[in-house]
Structure 1
Amino acid sequence: MSDIDMALTSQLVVAWAGETGEEHRLGWWRCDLASEYGGEDLFRRLLPSTWRWAALQGAREAARRVDAELRRRDHEPDRIISLFSLGFELDERIEERLADLKRSGHTPDEALPGLAITHDGWRPDIFWDWVADHGKAGGTTSPAGRRLSGSLPATVGQQARRLVAGLAPAAEHYPLPHFRRAL
């Protein structure tokens, strides 16, 4: 799996897990787009060939907005690198990759096998095991969220791994694991 695919998979899994709705998951953002009786039903009717992508993309957008709001709490929000804000160039590459995958005709599962965790319904133990499989992040609480220790990893894949690991321990609200970009 490429680093861009790894980052995109991580974003989509966390976005799915963070939803609130009929099938209550973590409840970090107010949307219910990737559940059978939530947005999934509407997307199936409107977008018969890409509804799975649309549901995940909608959840990802909800997560991105919450992430952006939390970053704005910091005195220098543009220096924060988070799972949903990896920097302009990387964010653009991830968007382009998502568009390419949607046009490919493959389902999300076929294109990004790491999304398998989203298929059997919400199982908190499986999600937190998935987070733990990304390693340990270590960090401290900051006004914006959970600032991870150490320097920003060199590759987007390594960044995504550390940022996912930074979700642990579980929190009532999205903890915004992040790095601070050097000046």
Structure 2
Amino acid sequence: MPTERITQDTLDSILALQIVVAWAGEGACDPKRLDWWRTDLIDEYGGGDLFRRLLPKTHSWASLETVRQAAIALDRRKRSEMARPDHVCTLFFWGFSVDEQLAERLAFHKRSREQPRDTLKQIPVDIYKPFSQAEFKIAIEIPNQKVEFKVVPSGREVLGEMLKALDERAKKLASALLPLPQDDSYPMPFYRLEEN
């Protein structure tokens, strides 16, 4: 069966949400953000400085790629606690075909040497400014819509029909992070894939 190619705009929309959530989830920065993963990979005086010295031409993309990988790793760890970890869809796990296309698209951007804020205009907040929880909430919420979910041991299972449009599904998964948890645990919103 041939792999369905996803449009560049759709891939960019998903990447933008992944990047902003990965950035917001950092906790080793000062001041810390949501503290979902113990990284500081983007900030100018943290990991961003290291990447700038190591990779002067691609440092911006390298830091975004690395913080995205930190989020993917935690997502994978949380999914591994589920009975069927590959039978869900999360913001950071779409299945092999989609995940591969997202990685290829990110690699394309990295090779272009354009700045992320110039290329991924879909990023809803300025990730190079101080973190504002209020701005983050506005960036990921779907106006006039509350995403329904039930809390289960592995995360937040999004209720209702899974949207076919991948960019819309990504928005709904990101919006299901709200309300933000009171502790520093990543709530991992997910759709359960239907059995065939």
TM-score bracket, normalised by the shorter chain, equals over 0.9
SS of residue in 1 equivalent to 2:126:
helix
Counterpart Cα distance in 2 of 1:43 and 1:139: 38
Q: Which has the higher helix share?
A: 1
Shift of 1:98: 0.2
Structure 1 stretches lacking a partner, 5+ long: none
SS of residue in 2 equivalent to 1:2:
helix
1:132 is the counterpart of 2:144:
no
Q: Which residue of 1 aligns with 2:180?
A: 170
CA RMSD of aligned residues (A): 1.3
Q: Which amino acid aligns with 1:162?
A: K
- Pairing of 1:5-154 with structure 2 (within 5 A): 5-21=12-28, 22-115=30-123, 116-133=125-142, 135-154=145-164
Counterpart Cα distance in 1 of 2:105 and 2:127: 20
Taking structure 1 as the reference length, what is the TM-score of the superposition?
Answer: 0.95
* Matched positions, count: 183
Counterpart Cα distance in 1 of 2:151 and 2:142: 22
Contact 1:18 1:26 in 2 (8 A): yes
Runs ≥4 residues deviating over 4 A: none
Counterpart Cα distance in 1 of 2:110 and 2:89: 26
Shift of 1:137: 1.6
Q: Which amino acid aligns with 1:2?
A: D
Shift of 1:100: 0.5
Q: Which residue of 1 aligns with 2:4?
A: none
Counterpart Cα distance in 2 of 1:104 and 1:72: 35
Shift of 1:117: 2.6
Q: Which amino acid aligns with 2:24?
A: A
Deviations 1:21-79 (A, max 9, x none): 22300000011101122211110001111111111111101100111111111111111
Deviations 1:77-125 (A, max 9, x none): 1111100001111101100000011111211011101334312211111
Shift of 1:133: 3.7
- Identity among equivalent positions (%) equals 38
Q: Which amino acid aligns with 2:159?
A: S
Contact 2:142 2:172 in 1 (8 A): no
Q: Which residue of 2 aligns with 1:181?
A: 193
Counterpart Cα distance in 2 of 1:35 and 1:25: 11
Deviations 1:128-173 (A, max 9, x none): 1112246432100112100000122102101101101110011121
